[in-house]
């Protein structure tokens, strides 16, 4: 792979790592491992840990995918590998 290609792949992996970190923190972190702790805090009538497990993580997942699609478009253009 040429230099340009390697840099593109590195940028892609960097983005994936960031997004997957958030993915992990909201579901496995806030929704499962730290749910008990977060339940002390309330969001309206929702205990926060319960909210992450049954509502919040899903909203964040949707946002993550659109954020990813947008960022990847930018990366594609920056390294000039986008589709015509």
Phi, psi of 40 (to 5 degrees): -65, -25
Helices 3-24 and 57-78, axial angle in degrees (round to 10) = 170
**Interaction of residue 21 with other proteins, rule CB under 8 A:** no
Q: Is 40 in the site for other proteins (CB under 8 A)?
A: no
Residues that bind other proteins (CB under 8 A): 1, 5, 8-9, 12, 16, 19-20, 23, 27-28, 31-33, 35-36, 39, 43-47, 49-51, 53-55, 57-59, 61-62, 64-66, 68-69, 72-73, 76, 81-84
């Amino acid at each position: 792979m040429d230099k340009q290609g390697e840099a593109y792949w590195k940028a892609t992996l960097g983005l994936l790592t960031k997004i997957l970190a958030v993915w992990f923190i909201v579901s496995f972190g806030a929704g499962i491992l730290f749910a008990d702790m977060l339940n002390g805090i309330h969001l309206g009538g929702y205990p926060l840990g319960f909210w992450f497990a049954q509502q919040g993580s899903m909203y964040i997942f949707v946002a993550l995918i659109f954020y990813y699609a947008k960022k990847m478009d930018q990366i594609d253009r920056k390294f000039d590998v986008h589709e015509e």
